[in-house]
Amino acid sequence: MERLPLRSAPPMQNEMQTRKTRGRLSRETLGKLGKMLEVYYDDVRKQGTPEKFRELLRQYEDRKDKGSS
């Protein structure tokens, strides 16, 4: 059976969380962070461009057209 490098004990948890990270992050960690960041902002991105912003541009252009004629 494959041995997993199990993290041992809950009592160490606080220590683990506060310890300093040495050196570079692994590619895997970077990938994971990137994914989390992506997922975190996915919700707002999925909303696309709200209609109010299209409307804003239209209004601005209309106003400019009237103003300059």
Binding site for another protein (CB under 8 A): 5, 7, 10, 13-14, 16-21, 25-26, 28-30, 32-34, 36-45, 47-50, 52-54, 56-57, 60-61, 64-65, 68
Q: Indicate the SS3 state at residue 43.
A: helix
- Biggest distance spanned by C-alpha atoms of the chain: 81
Contact 7, 16 (CB under 8 A): yes
* CB 9, min distance to another protein, A: 10
* CB 42, min distance to another protein, A: 6
* CB 67, min distance to another protein, A: 8
Amino acid at 34: G
Q: Indicate the SS3 state at residue 32.
A: helix
